[in-house]
Copies of this chain bind each other. A is one copy, B any other.
Amino acid sequence: MKSDSPTRVGKGKVVTAVFLKDIQIELRSRVVTNQVLPFAGLVMVMFAFALDNDDVLQRVAGGLVWLATLFSLFIIVQRSFAIDTADGALDSLRVAGIDLSAVFFGKAIALATKLIALEIVLICSAVLLYRVDVSATGLVLLVTCVLCATSGLAFVGTLYGGLTAGAKGRETLLPLLLLPVVAPVLIAATRATEAAFGSGGAQTSEGWAWIGLLAVFAAVFGVGGSLAFGSLIDE
């Protein structure tokens, strides 16, 4: 047995390994499927039920989709880091001496994957339950909006999830930190979705301005996260 350190591993491989691990655990434990989805579905149904009025429903449809996504974000982030801290695996990751910005991207991509799966279900149920019509141009806008908003949420969720993981009692900080930061995403995504849905006579074109904001947000937290994640998670 040679005792030289193994060669350093490329960033891409670490990203893939972390991503696969997170997805594999989700497939085993089914937290998103069994726990978050019914949760999010309930919001949609209850509102359809509470506001039995097509006009109002169509107006709130966009907001509801993103509100439900945001809640799910909290739960998924918390769960995703709870898995790593449960048996001290986070410590092992830190001691592995790997590039923590790769861990950041791996976890963020896994988080985004879960969020997108969720959003697809939510948007479809909004279309069905609230009788929303989406035009072809609206669809393009919607898809762009989902992609931009989700990457922003995934980046910021992973970043602050890392900050609040680890020491006991710290996890209670997560909502406090995350709330004010994701609020703009919520607003921008809601407005863009409303434009795509044509709620309240909104034009599709109005939506694209919001996409810009979402893209800036995603870029800021993508770069910021990959730089800062290491020093936040790591003490």
Q: Which residues in A have some Cβ–Cβ distance to B below 8 Å?
A: 28-31, 33-35, 38-39, 42-43, 46-47, 49-51, 56, 59-60, 63, 67, 70-71, 74, 168-169, 171-176, 179, 183, 186-187, 190
14 new A-B contacts at CB < 8 Å, known A38-B176, A38-B179: A30-B169, A31-B172, A34-B173, A34-B175, A35-B172, A38-B175, A39-B71, A39-B74, A42-B179, A46-B183, A50-B67, A50-B190, A51-B60, A51-B63
Residues on the B chain within 8 Å of A169, using CB: 28-30
How far, in angstroms, from A41 to B112 measured CA to CA in the complex?
Answer: 25
Instruction: Kindly provide the distance from the CB of A147 to the nearest chain B CB, expressed in whole angstroms.
Output: 22
Assess the B172–A39 pair: CB atoms within 8 A. no
Assess the B176–A34 pair: CB atoms within 8 A. yes
28 pairs, A vs B, C-beta closer than 8 Å: A28-B169, A29-B168, A29-B169, A29-B172, A33-B172, A34-B175, A35-B172, A35-B174, A35-B175, A38-B176, A39-B71, A39-B74, A42-B70, A42-B175, A42-B179, A43-B67, A46-B63, A46-B186, A47-B63, A47-B67, A49-B187, A50-B60, A50-B63, A50-B190, A51-B56, A51-B59, A51-B60, A71-B71
Residues on the B chain within 8 Å of A31, using CB: 172
Closest to A74 in B: B39
Assess the A172–B43 pair: CB atoms within 8 A. no
How far, in angstroms, from A28 to B172 measured CA to CA in the complex?
Answer: 11
Say what secondary structure dominates the interface of chain A.
Answer: helix
Instruction: Kindly provide the distance from the CB of A60 to the nearest chain B CB, expressed in whole angstroms.
Output: 6
Assess the A67–B46 pair: CB atoms within 8 A. yes
Assess the B39–A175 pair: CB atoms within 8 A. yes
Residues on the B chain within 8 Å of A63, using CB: 46-47, 50-51
